[in-house]
Amino acid sequence: MSEPIAGKFLLEILTKGMYSNPMHVYREYIQNSSDSIDKAIESGVLQAAEAEIHIFIDGKERNIVIRDNGLGIPLGIAKIKLMNVGASDKDGVTERGFRGIGRLGGLAYAEKVQFVTSAVGDSVKTIMTCDCVRMQQLLQKSNNETSDIMETFKAISAFEEQPEESEKHYFEVRLIGVPKESGLLDENNAIRYLAETAPIDFDSQQFVQARKIREHFAEKGFPITCYKILRGARRKPIYKLYSRSMSTGKQERTKTKDYVRDVEFIYHEASDGRPLYIGWLAITDFSGVISDESVQGIRFRKGNILVGNGTTFAKFFPSEGHNANRMFAGEIHVLHDELVPNSQRDDFEPSAVYNEMRKALSEWAGAINKKYRRGTSEATSALRNLTKLNEEQRKLEEKIDSGAITSDEKREQIAERLEKIARTREKEEKTVRKALERGTFDDERKETVEKALSQTESATKKVTALNTKIVNAGYATKNDLPSSYSRDERKLYQRIISVIDTYFTDDPKTAEALREKIKSELSVKKK
């Protein structure tokens, strides 16, 4: 009886079939680099301040290089470690990668992949070259040259050694001949992906709450581990994309800005007494859906690396999960050892501890949904509407004073609009005052709220006088024409304007534009 084998097509699953998004290749290599840096710091080979991961993307030559100055792999074990598939010595607890398959992802997106490494004390570097074109040939169903996964992996792999300075230590991944259609060569998209995903720091210049978050996490005993990731020859650092404000609104014409006024923290322990998670939530105006998908949604992180995406948390909201999640921004840093990201890193492996986390976070999501999305967002919207209504009434008064009433129809239109403003404003004012009493508005916004309410009181007092103006206003058209026009001519002009107002009842802007055009044409009576 023959021995069972692991078929060669497993290699296809571990390369082509591993990730739904080619960009995940960056995540896997960054993950391995951060683990290597941690080992180098722990062993005393590297100072934390000197640690860095460097990314080069050459769209013209179609090459990508990711290099870290971590521990590297010693010469004596380099070949066997690089040839291992699914056999990692990482503990899966303190280290981010542990399945030993992540580095294979790049084989699906290049003509060649090289792994170059050296460790302190070695006078040579090890270079492993994987021929990805050859791999595709061997994985054809009609090709019988190889049968099992290791036989195939050996067939596409070659090793060489080259001289190196003995004090150097690093690991470098080279993707050579990357197809443009993969999207991996689009540097802006790649950097944006890393800004969302990688274990990097906030930009304190752009995000004023960064210091508060760092200090809180450190005080609780869970400092956020960040790595310096540099792009290109200019060595420009990559930061998370959170900033002092966030665009909200689904459509361009309705977009506005919500300012991050504060952050709220959350911490929870599991039933076994061990830390479950710690997180932060941005406190904004909650006026609508966050437009920027790179910061939209509450996000899971393990070892400061993104798990899932901006939609993963949506299922924890009791209702309207997706829409609710998109109004929030924040992070949940998972702490418990038994909360393990799955192989695709798009969620966590099922477990009893995961069920605990789901229950606790669902309760929290329900609470913030009620407090902020339905409470603060409603109050913020009412405040914004109140300001708009007051301004609309002011402009309406200017129109009345300047002669906007040109017919009975126009008089009726203006009166109806004023009534609607007053009715809507009363409703919005009640909402704002209740929110103010509940303490919904922070100290920073109280001044704005009180100013808006003061303006509302003044505007409300004017309504009666404005209605009187509307009733008593004579048709302003008598002032539209020069004195050289006769009484009969003025009456005819008045009738024309009245017809326009009647015809364009639902389109007062067009009516006004026509009036102004006619008035302009008749401004000088022709002899």
In tens, the pLDDT along 491-514 reads: 788 788 778 877 887 787 888 788
The pLDDT score that the predictor gives to residue 180 is 94
Q: What are phi and psi of 281, to 5 degrees?
A: -130, 130
**For residue 430, what are the contacts with CB-CB under 8 A and spacing of at least 6?**
none
Distance, in Å, from the CA atom of 355 to the CA atom of 181, rounded to the nearest integer, reads: 40
**For residue 479, what are the contacts with CB-CB under 8 A and spacing of at least 6?**
403
pLDDT, one tens digit for every residue, the chain (527 residues): 455 556 565 666 666 656 678 999 999 999 999 999 999 999 999 999 999 999 999 999 999 999 999 999 999 999 999 988 765 554 444 444 444 566 788 888 999 999 999 999 999 999 999 999 998 888 888 888 877 778 888 888 999 999 999 999 999 999 999 999 999 999 999 999 999 999 999 999 999 999 999 999 999 999 999 999 999 999 999 999 999 998 887 655 556 788 898 999 999 999 999 999 999 999 987 877 899 899 999 999 999 999 999 999 999 997 777 888 998 999 999 999 999 998 888 999 999 999 999 999 999 999 998 887 766 667 777 888 888 888 988 988 887 877 777 777 778 888 888 899 999 998 888 888 887 776 667 676 777 888 888 888 888 898 888 888 888 776 666 667 788 888 888 778 878 877 887 788 778 788 878 878 887 888 776 55
* Closest-CA residue to 21 (of 239, 138, 250, 196): 196
In tens, the pLDDT along 158-182 reads: 999 999 999 999 999 999 999 999 9
User: What structural domains does the chain harbor?
Assistant: 9-185 (3.30.565.10), 198-345 (no CATH), 350-474 (no CATH), 475-527 (no CATH)
Q: CB count, 10 Å around CB of 349?
A: 12
